[in-house]
Structure 1
Amino acid sequence: MPWYSVYHPNLIDKAAIQFIKDAWRFRSKPILVVLDPQGKVVSPNAIYMMWIWGSNAFPFSTPREENLWREETWRLELLVDGIDQTIPNWIREGKYIFLYGGDDIEWIRKFTTAARQAAMAAKIPLEMVYVGKSNKREQVRRVMAAITAEKLSYCWEDLGMVWFFWTRLESMLFSKIQLGKADDHDIAMQEIKKLLSYDNVSGGWAVLANSSKVVVNGPGSTMLPTLVEYDLWKEHVPVKGYDLAFKDHHDKLHGIAHPCCRFEFPSTVGRIPDRMKCPECQRIMEKLTTFFCCHDDAHHGTIASI
C-alpha cells in the first residue's frame, strides 16, 4: 500500500485543506480516508474498522465494513478481542465472567464482594476484570492500585489496555454512525451504546457473560442490588441456571429504576449525529452543548446549554 507524507503542512494548498475539512469532516482527531487505485474514495474514515477488526478489515472499504458488521454477533470477544489473553482463556474454560468499570472504589468493593459471595453460594466458577473508564486516568490508576492491593479482582494494570478497550467501543459507535446505522435495532449496537452511556454516569457498571455469551449488562444501580438480593432469586438457579436467573431478577429491577443514558461527543470528532435514539427507551434523546473541565481529578465543572 503506497504511503505518502507531506514534508511540511504549509505545502498543502489552502483549497485542499478546506476540502479535507468540509468533504472529509476532518477536525483534529486523526482520520484515515481510503482511496482505491483509481483515486476513488472507498471509505471516508477506515480508522474505526481498523481499531475493531485490525487487518481483517482489509481492503478497508465501506462495503467491507458493512459485511464485517453483518457477520458480527453480540459476544464477549467483540468487547475484548486482542487486548489480553486472560479473558479468552476464561472463555475456553467455560467460566462466568464479569467485566466491570467505573471510578468509585467503594462501589467496586461492594460489587466484587457481592459477586464472589453469590458465585460461591451458586457454586459456579466466576472471574472478574476491571476495565476502568475512558477518562480520568489518574483516578483509574488509583482504583487499579486499590484493586490489586486488596485482591478484589483481576484488572488491566497497563493503562494502554484500558485505553484500547474504550477506543474500540467508541469506534464501534462511530463506525455505525458513519454507516448511517447507529439507531438500527441490532442487539450489538444497542448494548454497545448502553456501555458507552454507563461510562458517562457516576458509579459503576458491569457486564455478565457465560463463557462467550453476553447475558446482561447494566449500570451499578441495578447490577449491585441484583447480586445483593441473591436470596430472592437463588431458587431459580437450579432450573434456569445462574445466568438466566440473574438476568430475570436484574430486568425486574431495571424496569423499576429506568436508568438514563448519556453520550458525550468531543467537538474534535468530525461526524456527530444530528439525533440519536436512547438504547433503553428508543426515544429521541435531547441534544446539549457542554463545556467540560479538562483536569483529571475527582470533581469536574460542567456548563451545559440546550
Structure 2
Amino acid sequence: MWHSKVQHKMTVENDVIMQEIMTMLSFDDSDQGWAVINRGPADMAKAKGGTILKSLTDFEIWKEGVQEKGFLPALNDYLHELHSPFHCNRLILPEATGRSSSSIVAILKDGVQERVLCAECRRPMEKFIMYRCCTD
C-alpha cells in the first residue's frame, strides 16, 4: 500500500491514508506487534500490541464508558489515558521511498558507504531510512 501511494505521488501532508500507513509502520517497528479494531471506515482504534493488550486486560476499568459512548470510543479514550509523554518510536522505510538522488549523493560524500556487506554471509545489505522520536 505504501509503495502504491508513493508511486501516485501521495504524501503524509496530502493523504489521510498515508498518515495511517505511517502510524501503522511506526507501530510495527516496536517489536510488540500492533492491532487495529474498526467498525466501518470512520470508527477505529489502533495502538501498539502491548498497549492494546493492556487496554483489553483493563476492560473492567473502562467498561462503564462503553454504555455511554460505545465500545470503540471508550477504548480510544482509555488508549489515550495510557499514552505516555515518554516514548521512543521509530519508522524505518526502504531507501528508495524517501530520498532524492541528490540527497543520496550528499550522504555518500559524508562518508556513508554506498554498499555494505553482511558480516555473516557477505551479501550486500539493503539500505533503509530511519525516522525516530524519542522523548525519554
Q: Under TM normalisation by the shorter chain, which class is it?
A: 0.5 to 0.7
Q: The residue matched to 1:218 in structure 2 has which SS? A: strand
CA contact (8 A) 2:34 2:48 kept: yes
Residue 2 of structure 2 corresponds to 173
Name the amino acid aligned to 2:44: V
**Which of the numbers 195, 199, 209 marks the counterpart of 2:24?**
195
RCO higher in structure (CA 8 A, sep ≥6): 2
Comparing 172-181 with 235-244, greater Cα deviation is found at 172-181
Deviation at 1:224, TM superposition (A): 1.4
Q: Does 1:253 align with 2:82?
A: yes
Give the CA deviation at 1:190.
1.0
Question: Counterpart of 1:264 in 2: which secondary structure?
Answer: strand
In the alignment, structure 1 residue 186 sits paired with structure 2 residue 11: no
Q: Which amino acid is the alignment partner of residue 81 of structure 2?
A: K
Deviations 1:208-265 (A, max 9, x none): 1125545121112321121122122111110101110001111221244545132231
Unaligned runs of 5+ in 1: 1-171, 276-287, 296-303
Do structure 1's residue 272 and structure 2's residue 97 form an aligned pair? Answer: yes
TM-score, normalised via structure 1 length: 0.30
* Aligned amino acid, residue 63 of structure 2: K
Structure 1 Cα separation of the partners of residues 47 and 87 of structure 2? 11
Structure 2 letter corresponding to 1:247: N
**For the residues of structure 1 that align with 2:20 and 2:87, how far apart are their CA atoms?**
15
> Deviation per CA, 1:87-135, whole angstroms, max 9, x where unpaired?
xxxxxxxxxxxxxxxxxxxxxxxxxxxxxxxxxxxxxxxxxxxxxxxxx
> What letter matches 2:45 in structure 1?
V
User: Which of the residues 197, 205, 210 maps onto 2:34?
Assistant: 205
Q: Alpha carbons of 1:273 and 1:196: their partners in 2 closer, same or farther (altered >3 Å)?
A: same
Q: 2:73 aligns with which of 233, 237, 244?
A: 244
Cα root mean square deviation, aligned: 3.3
Contact 1:205-1:223 at 8 Å conserved across structures: yes
1:203–1:192: structure 2 CA closer, same or farther, 3 Å change rule?
same
Separation in structure 1 between the aligned mates of residue 86 and residue 61 of structure 2, nearest angstrom: 18
Shift of the 212–182 alpha-carbon distance from structure 1 to 2, 3 Å rule, reads closer
Residue 229 to residue 292, structure 1, CA distance change in 2 (3 Å)? farther
Paired position in structure 1 for 2:48: 219
1:207 and 1:292 mapped to 2: Cα distance?
A: 37
Which residue of structure 1 aligns with residue 108 of structure 2?
none
User: Quick check: which has more Rg, 1 or 2?
Assistant: 1
